[in-house]
Structure 1
């Protein structure tokens, strides 16, 4: 089958060349000093530590991972972030508290703004050759370099917030210490190289993590040998599934490679370029973790982002106050008003998510007017409060956490401690 233009190492080299002179602007963006949140306990199945959504995802997509290898969050949070966007996250009752996912989100926003303010980077992107753009278009889910960098920043934050569900099994007793411990232990690189994208994104959206830590004598942590073996087996199973679907689509069904990718990536969530187009016997390499020789030296994008992320996260935690208030997680019931056609999906991370969410809504005959990946904003033509409620439930079954456009609780307010 033809894989014209698909080249993961070449795509990684393009991104490294863009980022090496500098990825972020130096001027920090003022963020809120106080955020209010609401907390709701998760509902677990009888005699289980997993929710229904977690169990179904485990059984369908995580073989051979066992239920006892999965740690679940105990509570889901809702808050409005410093950009005024309703957000959700997960925490464990034995963990470091709500400040971790909230500070992660504020750090993501800080770095997104620093990325957008880097005018030299924008100029380098404009000067990309047609061949480099073709490589990105043929290889990556998000084709625009700024979008790819933005997704990478969010993935870094996702890794930190998700592993915080295991903070009680580590030596780290504060959010800042935990973040530095994850960096010093190489966990960001472990996620990039040992996990696969859909597993990390989907388990994060469901408030679960399928790994365990071993504490080392120097107080760093590593994945247990069982965790490494299980992650490898899950990745191999996913690659095998993708190859099987692609082979059937291009031989039995007679589809072209692009048509097969479009049909099964969108409809069944079983296939993507990252796995389906890999040559037999190879395993996917993270674009950010791949090392290149740039300007006479070795360069890898992932440690640059991880180091800056941890630095900004520590600074954010030092000045951020979070307060729990009474309220509801989502405003998907009650009177129906025009503004109820607008909602947010905070865990919508990339263009694959956009396609998935659009597909769920359109399968319910709900017309989608607009989806903005950056603001996480969706405008859809719901017919009634019941129709909206059912759509939200369908999205939650897919691992997403839609929230009302009406901020719950009140929007974060900057204080004198904001920088």
Structure 2
């Protein structure tokens, strides 16, 4: 079904209710444990700038998009890993040597895949989606970045996984000493709710890709953890700065230049895309709320998507983390010489996770005169016309500067182990 742009309506609470009605009683109830598997990964240390604990990419992102956050408020990963998941898709992640190691990002990815599989085979959910009215679809079109309900839920599941893996950079400052203890601790400490209410979307996605987090924990008497007061104040300031910048761009476009809202978004796509165009549409004085975290009364009962999903996510993660065997292997360095074969037009961007990423990656490549023929959000595969190995190398460097980690390694699925 196709909904025209003029039929769309920006309404966060209405969009949240549409999603809650689709999700209730709970998403991914049929998620199954995958087979035991052996997953190989490569590992490389992050290289901070001289005299700093941050890399160049981290420092540049901090200075441009995280004001007024200070460098001393940011924790960086010590290592980046790369692996191929059980669906044969390349991935990258980060960990800190003082924490829980590579098991958290790898098990997190397998948990996400299990939930995605359950989502895609949920016939009742597919039926409810098919029954959406034009008005309901128009609300999703006008309010959300990913307009199809399946895509919205899929990205939301992945965001929950990112939150777990990213906060694991801080595990050494918590009472939790194993991946299972940490996952349960994050759930019981309501950290996912804090991410939903304190962070904004682009901050979480971009800092995750760069292996950094601007958070500190304060341990409570009951053994749970909370964001420190300094963290809460900084996150609020960053979000307010982001909203103000979005409003400034939209106000200039609609009042000074006389553009309509849709024309303003089209003209200032890059600026508004980086800081989320939804914030530009918020009424003055309004603060955004996560659609999954909003509470609703449905059939006389209180319902919110986030806590139900996080319970299921945590349960699966704890089980999956015990079923994986990890093995570090040596990485092959990519050569920058020789001819570029036709099949070498394809590469993978493991940390591409939403339509914003698709537009950013496409825009980066096209700004270099590189035509993008195919970009698949599910498999993370991109096909582009590189002029030479050197041209591809420079394009990859530009993507890394944007916070992405492209790879040319051919995917090979994780090895399933026979359960006896």
Q: Scaled by the length of structure 2, what TM-score is found?
A: 0.95
2:202/2:274 contact within 8 Å kept: no
Q: Deviation of residue 307 (structure 1)?
A: 0.9
Structure 2 counterpart of 1:303: 307
Q: Does the C-alpha gap of structure 1 residues 417 and 208 become closer, same or farther in structure 2, counting only changes over 3 Å?
A: farther
CA distance in 2, matches of 1:3, 1:352: 22
Pair 1:284-2:322 in alignment: no
Structure 2 counterpart of 1:88: 92
Pair 1:346-2:350 in alignment: yes
Pair 1:324-2:328 in alignment: yes
CA distance in 1, matches of 2:193, 2:253: 34
Structure 2 counterpart of 1:167: 171
Pair 1:116-2:106 in alignment: no
1:139/1:273 contact within 8 Å kept: no
CA distance in 2, matches of 1:371, 1:401: 15
- Find 2:407's aligned residue among 391, 400, 403: 403
1:170-215 CA distance string (max 9 Å, x none): 0000001100000000000000100000100110010000000001
Pair 1:252-2:235 in alignment: no
Structure 2 counterpart of 1:24: 28
CA distance in 1, matches of 2:296, 2:131: 20
1:106-164 CA distance string (max 9 Å, x none): 11111000100101100110110110000000000000000000000000000000000
Structure 1 counterpart of 2:417: 415
CA distance in 2, matches of 1:265, 1:284: 20
1:234-253 CA distance string (max 9 Å, x none): 00000000000111111223
1:269-305 CA distance string (max 9 Å, x none): 4443321011101100000000001121010001111
CA distance in 1, matches of 2:328, 2:374: 32
1:305-325 CA distance string (max 9 Å, x none): 111111110011011111111
1:103/1:317 contact within 8 Å kept: yes
1:34-56 CA distance string (max 9 Å, x none): 10001000111000000000001
- Find 1:135's aligned residue among 139, 151, 176: 139
Q: Deviation of residue 101 (structure 1)?
A: 0.5
Unaligned residue ranges in structure 1 (runs of 5+): none
Equivalent residues in 2 for 1:33-112 (5 A)? 33-112=37-116
Q: Deviation of residue 395 (structure 1)?
A: 0.5
Structure 2 counterpart of 1:377: 381
Q: Does the C-alpha gap of structure 1 residues 250 and 31 become closer, same or farther in structure 2, counting only changes over 3 Å?
A: farther
Deviates more, 1:15-24 or 1:275-284: 15-24
Q: Does the C-alpha gap of structure 1 residues 378 and 265 become closer, same or farther in structure 2, counting only changes over 3 Å?
A: same
CA distance in 1, matches of 2:406, 2:67: 27
Pair 1:184-2:188 in alignment: yes
CA distance in 1, matches of 2:368, 2:178: 45
CA distance in 1, matches of 2:419, 2:53: 39
Q: Deviation of residue 381 (structure 1)?
A: 1.0
- Find 1:158's aligned residue among 156, 162, 172: 162
Unaligned residue ranges in structure 2 (runs of 5+): 1-5
Q: Deviation of residue 266 (structure 1)?
A: 2.8
Provide the alpha-carbon RMSD of the alignment: 1.7
CA distance in 2, matches of 1:376, 1:17: 30
CA distance in 2, matches of 1:104, 1:334: 36
Structure 1 counterpart of 2:152: 148
Q: Does the C-alpha gap of structure 1 residues 204 and 27 become closer, same or farther in structure 2, counting only changes over 3 Å?
A: closer
CA distance in 2, matches of 1:134, 1:171: 46
1:88/1:346 contact within 8 Å kept: yes
Q: Scaled by the length of structure 1, what TM-score is found?
A: 0.95
CA distance in 1, matches of 2:267, 2:127: 35
Deviates more, 1:363-372 or 1:3-12: 3-12
